[in-house]
């Protein structure tokens, strides 16, 4: 090796080592399930201590002034920001909830009762198979408020190697922007 090629070799080694150390010290794993690489996913599940969040919304009309995906957007925003503060892996967009009462409205996507339950069970089963043993469902849609407690309670009908928790407090008593009226319901 000439002196110049030795220096090049040494510089490349230094850069590689620095990158590896930086990665080990500050992996900055994404909380988004779909943004992780396969190897990073394994690290992420370990870092999350097997805790995963499943934010659930819907596709429905929200008056003339709000997007059809409002409930999904809100639930995901809260879940993603919570997971960034206290690391957990957040499942991709899930809007396969209950909305039979508004299926006549433009843009509404309404799945059958059987499909809602079957798809949710298959999803939590698949999350568990990937290492999510504590699954927190975060609900963003009023029409899911009977479906999800029933789903969680009926997990006892057969043995599972994971636990489903349900967070359905869509209007917290404190925090958030000031409201114009005390009765602030769907789409304001
Ligand atoms: Zn809704």
| Cβ < 5 A residues, ion ligand 1 | 71, 141-142
CB 168 within 8 A of CB 147: no
pLDDT in tens, 81-105: 999 999 999 999 999 999 999 999 9
CA nearest neighbour of 164 among 73, 57, 78, 52: 52
pLDDT in the model for residue 178? 79
pLDDT grade for 27, boundaries at 50, 70 and 90: low
pLDDT tens-digit profile of 110-141?
999 999 999 999 999 999 999 999 999 999 99
What pLDDT score was predicted for residue 171?
67
Neighbour order of strands in the sheet with 51-56: 89-90, 51-56, 134-139, 163-167
Q: How far is the CA of 92 from the centre of ligand 1 (A)?
A: 18
Distance 58 CA to ligand 1 centre (A): 6
CATH for 28-167, options being 3.40.50.620, 3.40.50.10310, 3.40.50.720, 3.30.1360.120: 3.40.50.10310
- Domain boundary assignment for the chain: 28-167
**Average pLDDT, whole number, for the chain?**
87
Q: Separation of 51 CA from ligand 1 center, angstroms?
A: 26
Question: When comparing pLDDT for 18 and 32, which is higher?
Answer: 32
Residue 108 C-alpha to ligand 1 middle, in angstroms? 11
* pLDDT value, residue 179: 76
């Amino acid at each position: 090796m000439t002196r110049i090629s030795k220096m090049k070799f040494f510089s490349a080694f230094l850069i590689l080592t620095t990158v590896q150390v930086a990665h080990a010290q500050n992996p900055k794993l994404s909380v988004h399930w779909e943004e992780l690489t396969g190897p990073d996913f394994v690290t992420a599940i370990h870092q999350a201590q097997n805790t995963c969040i499943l934010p659930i919304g819907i596709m429905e009309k929200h008056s003339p002034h709000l997007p059809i995906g409002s409930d999904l957007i809100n639930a995901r925003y809260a879940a993603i920001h919570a997971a960034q503060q206290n690391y957990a892996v957040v499942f991709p967009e899930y809007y396969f909830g209950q909305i039979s009462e508004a299926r006549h409205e433009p843009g509404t996507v309404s799945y059958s009762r059987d499909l809602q339950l079957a798809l949710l069970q298959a999803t939590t089963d698949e999350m568990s198979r990937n290492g999510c043993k504590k699954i927190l469902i975060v609900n963003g849609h009023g029409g899911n408020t009977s479906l999800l407690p029933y789903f969680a309670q009926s997990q006892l009908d057969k043995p599972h190697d994971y636990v489903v928790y349900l967070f359905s407090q869509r209007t917290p008593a404190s925090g958030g922007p000031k409201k114009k009226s005390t009765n602030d319901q769907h789409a304001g």
